Structure 1
Amino acid sequence: MIKILFILNFFLISLFSSSFDKVYTVAFLKDWKPYYITNNKGELDGYVYELFEEISKKTNLKFEYKIVNTWQEIFELAKNNKIDIVPNIGITKNREELFNFSQPTDTLKIKLFKRKDSYDITKIEDLKTKKLGVLLNNICNVLISKEITDNKIVLFDLSRAISSLTSGELDALCYPDSSLNMKLKELSLENKIVSFEKPLIEVKRGLGLTKENFDLLPLLDEAITDLKVEGTFQTIYSHWFSQKDINTISQSTFYKILIILVIVLIILFIYIYGNNKLKEQYKKQKKLEKKLNSAQEIAKLGHYSYSFNKDLFVCSKQIDEIIGIEENSVKNVDLWIKCIHPDDQQRVALYWASCLNKGVDYKIEYRFINQKTKEIIWVVALGEISRDKNHNPITMFGTIQNIDERKKTEEELTQAMMVFENTNDGILVTDKNTNIINVNKSFEITTGYSLKEVINKKPSMLKTDLNKDSFYKKMWSDLNTKGVWSGEIINKKKDGSNYYEFLTINVIYGINKEVNGYIGIFSDITQQKSDEKMLMTQSKVAAVGEMLGNISHQWRQPLSVISTHATGIKLKLELEANLEKEEICESMENINKQVQYLSKTIDDFRNFFKGDTNDIQEFTLKDAFSKLEQLTKDSLHNNYIKYETEIEDLTLVLNENLFIQALINIYNNAKDAMVDNIENSDDRFLFVETKVVNEKLEILIKDTGYGIPLNIIDKIFEPYFTTKHSSVGTGIGLYMTNQIITKQFNGQIFVSNIEFENNGKILSGAEFRIVLPLEKK
């Protein structure tokens, strides 16, 4: 849960800071006057450029311009997320899939143009049989239909279209009013080509933001509003769109307008001078209202007022969204109660009535049912009641906040705390300096220490001398590199007794990946370790009979040699035959060799059975398999089993005796399977192969005993499971192998039935695959 809160905090910080660090790509149309202008030097100008530069100053956001040739190219870049903002674009329904739009900044009028001397064209209906020109990638190409003209001519260039209109090749032309007027002025044709008075359509225009940049919209809207309030926007707009009107008015009219403007300016000056403070206050109020609205959106908070006389609520849109009702719907107490969860209605009504009677403000948490989505939403409602001189309620003002996420978080925290307190596993939490800050009840029961006794102390108070320094070094190495460590450890209780625990430690990270603390979760496995030790002993004892048989067979030959030499010498002495010194020495040498062999056999047997399970040391894989072969070769040979190996030249850091014991159990089961199932001794094989795969050691052991029945293959690693008579098998061999591989060596063991070819013959049997991690050097 702590991690979730940190991640949530990090997300919120990132959300509000990333907008100011990112450089946004702004698409700029190469040439579409007066909106977009690019001169021969590549410098940008025009209405869009001037306005957007002012917006960028207001927002403090970073931008870079990308010059494009056509609107089609802009749409392709937006689809592929290659641009972030189009600074001026028509606000249309079909473009909402690509863009979020700001508030409108201007209106584009689409008009029809004709030659001034075309007296036969006075209205749109006159164009039915006329040649009407449109540009390919222009909105006019969509607007002009068969209803307007039967002769729509599509052109690719505006200059060519104007030339065709002036020469008579076209009778009329459809194009945006402001752009064509500027082009006509450049060509000195403003007195030869005129527009129809009424536009075909008016298209509102504004900033277009690609969908992933929707969070910029409030910021840009606020900047546009500020520019309008300051008058900067009107200055820019007039500069680019009012030139034609000013240049075409007569001189006398100009002076009349000038006199009127002077009078108006004097009046305005007096008005502004007298109301300057009021205007400033209004601007501040509007800004505060916007900021308040943004804050309410973020906090999921809405405000309301209620008239007791009219039984009427007036509330902000945030409350409408919480309740799921239309903004213009009539809201009264009955509707309000209806939207409250049935289980909370009576409680809220009684609480509200109590507050009215006592004349106190109220604060209460309850649940709404959203009328649109039917979602249950927790809210906290606050209210203040104003009264008349007779103490009768007049109006109630208040706020309602969506606290659903907080409630869910509280519920999760409650559940987490219940788990923390009631789990059977001990839990210990420390700060970043490993000082204990909390433990649960299971920790206290297992260790004998209370929370009060361990608070602000180090977990090392539980440490024993049984864990080597290299053990703790490896633990901290894993925590520092991986953020987690798990394994078995021996710790000390308050009464001084030792206990085994399986411990998992996780690092608690902050939002900037700094270490904030550690949490350790452990289970007491002392009894389990005791049981494993007993089973280990039983497993070894079970193997004694097998091993004694091997030893008796290995001793038979050397004892025969010793007996032969001793009998020979004795016989010659009894017959008083001549005994050469050299002959006696040779016999004694042979006897000594056989005695040494017998001694080595005893040592191998003793070393196998005396091993300490905690004794970890380096040994070579080949040496281990050589010892394994010495312990099992006679048993395999006596049962006519051929033994083939491919062993890697590797060094392992494990308990060698446990390693050998784990494999002996597999060997013995393979031997028994082949003896029981394979009558033809020529088909009895035991294959052993080792290899390194992905920095792990794989050991493959396969036999030719026809495999393991499918109905028991999943049970063979269970304790005391056996298919043999109790006088023959104990059912703990493969269980101990599994425990050694998985628990002691942190490895894996798998078994499957396979078919394979050997010397041109198809054989089948069981294959054990052991996977062990290799110690990194």
Structure 2
Amino acid sequence: MFKKILKKDIFIILYAFIFILFIIVAGIKYSSNILKEEIVNKQLKITQLNADFLAEDLNININNIEVFIENIASIIDLKNDQIVISNSLFHSLDKFPQIRSINIINKNKILYSSNNKNIGFNIKNYNFIPKPLFNNNIIRVSSTKKGRDVHSTLNDISSNKNIDDSYIPIIKEAFINGEKYSVMINLNTNYFFNKFKNTDKENNLNIQLLRIDKKLLISTNKSSMHEGKIESNYILEKALQFNKASDVYDIDNDKIITSYSLTKDYPFIIGIKLDYKKSLLDWNEKSYQFFIISTIIIFICMIVVLIFILLFKRGKEREVLEKNKFKLLFQDSHLMTVMINKSGQIENINNLGLEFLGKKELKEVKRTNFWDLDCWEINEKNKIKKFFESNRIKKRINFQIKALDVNKEIAIFDFTLYTIDNIEDEFNYIAITEDITEKKRKERRLEQSYTVFNHTRDGIIITDKDTNIIDVNKAFEQITGYSKKDTKNRTTRILKSSLNDKKFYDQMWKSINEQGFWEGEISNLNKKREIYTEWLTINTIYDENSQVLNYIGIFSDITEQKNKDQEINEKQRLLFQQSKMASLGEMIENIAHQWRQPLSVISTASTGIKIKKELNILSDEEELKSLDAINHSSQFLSTTIDDFRSYLINDNKKDNFNVGETIDYSLKLFSSKLHNRNITIIKDYENTYIWGIRNEFVQVLINIINNANDAFEDIIQEEKYIFISTREIEKNVEIEIKDNAGGIPEKILEKVFDPYFTTKDKSQGTGIGLYMSSQIIRNHMDGHIHVKNKTYKFNNIKCTGASFIITLKKGNI
């Protein structure tokens, strides 16, 4: 049979073989050329990446050197001896392996150097570029110099092929001890040469360092170092224009892969060259072997495949006819498909249907009435049965139906029944069902979300990426007065007020663009153009490509809350003022005490002068003495008034102030009362500062000292002390004020900071002094204050009293 078929179709095999072989060989060749181009492009990208990397690395090295030059004045002092300066420069080389020597130059002459042998040499002929147009305060570069350093320089390296001992001078001006000098850094060519060689692991690259004027400074191909300026080419010109470029170009019929990259901030160019043929040598050998082997394998396979095609041609045709019957089953479909005969019995069912029913094989359900399947509940079963028995099925019917899966959980299906014409009369209907249970769940969740959207008390606004309003909820309409219809084709600008400046909106959008989120307080306008305050949260919605789709804003009207806060603040202000007025009464009483003696002195002295003048017994010496007493007392009165006025100034500016000086100032205001009651102040200060409003802190001190003073009024005690100490504890300052007046009763100790709490008569106290003190310390100065009774020894005498401890953040001295 094989020979008969082969003889009959020999020409078909031959023609097909030649045609297919030609197509495949041509395809292999074409693919080879494409791959070759891709390899060249890959080499271009690699050389360009290497050039970019070396250029960036060089830029960082030179930048580090430039920073060193700019800060050289912090390293050396030209007032020192030359040996000290040279040693300082020499030790600086430890941090810079890329530097051969550091030289300080004035008028082209080396004055100081990390290499003492360089001192005194003249560099007039070093020809640095670029030539400065306005100032010399830029990095400029000379050509590569032969020799270890300046003292051994013979000429430019371009006249000698050996670069083992060479350097590249760069220069920049710097101010040292207020004078302008030139700092010349001699770069170590070996450092950069080795770095370039490390980049070229396979030793295939020619890496070059050029000046911006195309002068060759370093090349890993030592034979090219005698070339001086390299010949310009279109790739180099393109790199000079666009900072980098790469391509393949011909040099003497040789193709060279070339990449150039300029340093970002300095006059250097990194060039990398790769021989085109060498880069493709391995590829050409492998592609030829691949071509031969592939051709042989294809040739053999084609013969085998074509013969088998002929052998199974007729059998395949019959199989195709059989398989066409099963195509409608959609075995790989995501839909459950059932073939039903005209009696309503199942003829076939796909795998998805069997899985849903919990069956493994078709025979378990074949010839079963479709409506008798276990998945149907009574109502659905009767509904399907009526369709088949009444012959009411047209070409296509569709409806939704419920079914029970293998776990007896309800699933919802989109059910479609098709009527078909079948020659073999094996089936007349195809039932296709799609599981839409998850779809229905999502629809319900969407309905629930929309219900929440419309009934939440917070306003919600949805916009597109250009802030055009798409949708708003009912709370939005109630708060702003704008209906959904009013916002159609409008942007969020309709809500914008003038209370928030451009800086506010710039910061808000910066947060939204960078973090996809913003939250804060904002003042907007409602439809009546009335300002209301809202707490707004904005979230960004992105698509799968991280592009902005929508913005969602959720806000609540906090206008009423703000008004309440303002009322509370106003009450706090009135309490503060009331406290200060109470302190003012204390101050006036204190001033009255302090003024009695100076006023008595002035009165006595002036009366004495008048009487003696009338009796003509006043001497010049007595007159001057009396006038000095009057002047001294007047100066005291003036100082008291200045202190009192300084305390009354309502200066809310925060600043650093000395704690000890402020305590002494407070004691000075209160000195007469303390003196009249024979109260001794024991001080123990550290020189420390705190940050806050000085006058508010003074008020706190006066309130606490006044409480201590009042405590002594109720006891009979010879030694009366108030101890005031300060000390630094890590980042805080602790101020302790304690007395020996017996302490505060334990039952009221926790109430002393409550508003309007006092143990004094109403005519003597308001009960707000310590309350306002706690408010100032905690809310205004971000600190802590607490009180306790304390027993201690002073001068070997046991003392008990109230101890107020204030803890505040340390300021800057």
Shorter-chain-normalised TM-score: which range?
0.3 to 0.5
CA radius of gyration, larger in: 2
TM-score under structure 1 length normalisation: 0.45
Q: With CA pairs under 8 Å and 6+ residues apart, which has the higher RCO, 1 or 2?
A: 1
TM-score under structure 2 length normalisation: 0.43
